[in-house]
Chains A and B, each alone.
Chain A
Amino acid sequence: MNLSSSILKRILHAPDNRGGLGGTQRRRIGIAAAAFFALFPLLPFVDNYWIDVGFYVGIYALLGLSLNIVLGEVGLFDLGHTAFYAIGAYVTAILNTRFHVPILLLLPVSAIAAGLFAWLVTAPIIHLKGDYLCIVTIGIGEIVRLSMINNPLGLTGGPNGINGIDNPHFFIPILSSRQFYYLLWAIIGISAFLLTRLQRSRVGRAWNYIREDETAAKALGVNVRHYKLSAFVLGAALAGVAGNIYASKQMSISPESFTFMESSLLFCIVLLGGLGSIPGSVIGAFVVTVFPEIFRPFAKYRLMFFGLALLVMMIFKPAGILPRLRDSGERLRKALEGKKTGKSRPNAVPVVETDRAEQKLLLCIENLGLSFGGVTAVSGMELEVDKGRITALIGPNGAGKTTVFNIITGIYKPMSGRILLRGKDISSKQPYQIAEEGVARTFQNIRIFPSLTCLENVLCGQHSRGKAGFFASMLRLPSQRAEESRMLEKAQACLARVGLSDSADSLAAALPYGKRRYLEIARALAAEPELIVLDEPSSGLNDAETVELAALLKSLVREGLTIFLIEHDMNLVDMVSDHVVVMQSGKKIAEGPMCDMRQDPKVIEAYLGSDED
């Protein structure tokens, strides 16, 4: 089972996006919780012990937030996250005890060191999937812990660790439990604020697209490698910050604090709270820290109960305590307003500037070949797609049609031949680059992002048309706001174009099957493509829906788009295609208008088989 389908299942288990705790209700609870955390150390009956418990809730909350970036937002199984926390703590401890660098100055240093370390160790392994990545991260966690024990160059103090770390000095020296508590929770507040902004930006959405369906994200212009790496780096940097504060509060650190068990706890925090949910990570940290504290009287049994509690949670509430609510379009727009931004330029229907007369040929495939382990999927395939027309690729099952599509969109690399888009060879490019070149696609078995809203799904198409990065998104620079509102408008226009405006805020998983096709088409349109490649768009649609689809495709072509589709439903091919290419056994066997193809003995034989024995 892949990650996206598992997430789909969680969502279907979880209350609907609109159901359960609503947005406003949550906001009230959130304010109450923030007030509680702010006032808690001042309450008369709270002693230093419980303030310290509050501090450790904070450390786990910060670590939870940091792992949530990697695991929650991007869906990367990271079971060695403690390594980055350890790097932060040890960098702080070493630089402080040896060179007396002030703790707060070491805060950014720890973050950068942990981030850099994460980049170095994850860059070679980032392509690994699921369990394999999980195992490697466990290995990284262990390597870091064991190295600290072994006291390399006498720096880490071996199993005993490092003692005598200073307190931070923020105008006044920070000494008491209460002061540490406020310092830490202030940092958590700022981090949560910035992370929420990231979640509502091009960057945060790109992370989610990868989590939901990596292939679809790739094909629609998301540079998967870049975003996965950046999630690791950012998550590690935040863990490094947690390490810095932890070291200065404890005044001593040792490898015992950075075990695999800690990494497992962090993993549980994120899942308990809800994947990708920022308040969820805080709640998860609260549960994981306070639960064993409350059960302290049963000292021997408390962790046993904790293990059982994790089980019970996963059986009865697999989506977590506070699953992330997706933002409505309204909310996204409001978030952009605040300050007056430059009125974004009106951008009506998705129209591509066309110059039909100038160049007729848009896509040209020359002598294409690809085989898988000795089985030839495509060989010597030739094909041309003219601008402003609908070209259909048909052929019996197993003829290699989808393989051709996967080569065009860069998911497979051809073994021979070239693919020319506007005369330019794109066969060696990455999928996201091909999307940027103006090719968008849909998939045979519908690959939408099930637990995102329809609007967010369509925004994915716009990803390749924007450029706002991390800092612009966290700081909400004017350029980023303008870009976001342009993207929103465009996405809404595309949804409207396929008649899904009413569903903009509902989760894609909640759409009926037929509408999911349209959502996929809207997502492709939002990429402002010149060529749109549709893999069996009519499959699963009934007759009436197919007629509707045909009308949509025709009107898109009238607006200047070029369409290339694979289809089994000859009614649809009849209705829309200007030109038909027939494939069999990896080769083109005929081409022309559908009427001629129907009479062509080679085509009939390809479909019905030959008569002679």
Chain B
Amino acid sequence: MSRKQGDTMMLETPFHSRVALANELNLWEAWSGYTTPSAYFDVELEYFAVRSAAGVFDLSPMNKYRITGPDAGAFLNRLVTRDVGKIGVDRVGYTVWCDNAGQVMDDGTIFHLAENDYRLCAYARAMDWLSWSALGFDVSVVDESAEVAALAVQGPTSCSCLQSMGLDGLETLKPFGIAHFDFEGEDLMVSRTGFTGDLGYEVWIAPNKAETLWDKLFEAGKPYMIKPFGSQALELTRIETGFLQAGVDFVPAQETIRPGRSRSPFELGLGWLVDLNKPVFNGRQALIREQQIGSRYHFVILDVDGNKPAHNSFLFKGQQQVGTVTSAAWCPTAKSNVAFAQIETACGDIGDQLVAEIYYEKELHWTRVLAPCKVIDGAVFNPARRRMTPAVAY
């Protein structure tokens, strides 16, 4: 069987023609069946574009489910851990959802588009679970992953870029708010959301307008130093700002094979997303039990001495191994060496001192460092402009 050049088994996003053109490194990876860029030209420069100007990330492969019908809200409320009733129309809420054992299956966002109309964005494919969950509800669940194209526009000049593209009044959009604009006769939905911890937006459009949107956005953003960025730069930004990555910082419960390898929301530091006052939701009984008997782990952010990222490190308290690192990065803006860790519940209070055993290699020479580290309270990157409305102009 012969294969034509460029003919792969991977899907292409609606922005692919533009992304491929911009991808100077020709560096690709698979995301949810789509081919997506790991980096476009230079990971550090892409990262600094996001932190100092504006970066654009193609998030079209994200799994998107449209949930409509009279029971849409009730359905979501039984599905996820938080109280969906508190997410008003034109608002977005971050949440997790659990299996019956109270173990996190995924995290994602709920977009409340209109009355009885929601979009659930998920890391993992979820149609099977959503379909089972829909039994007994008057609700329709449709996988619209391929019907909605989306870009994240993130960074201090993101608002200016979009305003200059014609989105008048965008500066008044509050964090986690949703607004709609006309874009060449098509609805352009903008949410003030993102995965970088800075001022930023996600823009959602029909696939047939995707390429035009990309072109107009980059044209309008040119004076504001807009650049595309890939998954590697995104990884730096999300660690710097303290966001968990499904599949990295936890394994979706339905994908774990060995007992005990999944995590509860409490164990991931996401207890604030759990509303046990709801009479029923998936995992409720198990989570109540966990509150009574205690969790096995807890999630901490560590400030690690030195500049060597503590990838995959074991963590010690004295002689005792108390945990492991799930994500690590040297964070350029905050100038700190950050690690996310899962550690035994007995230790890990804010200010606790631990030791990370770091291995690193230079020209086939391996070095082992025992780096002191400290449990810190919250993320190292958390600028005020992230929350300010109206958005500060740059």
- Do A and B come together as binding partners? no
Question: What residues make up the interface of A, taking CB atoms closer than 8 Å to B?
Answer: none
Question: What residues make up the interface of B, taking CB atoms closer than 8 Å to A?
Answer: none
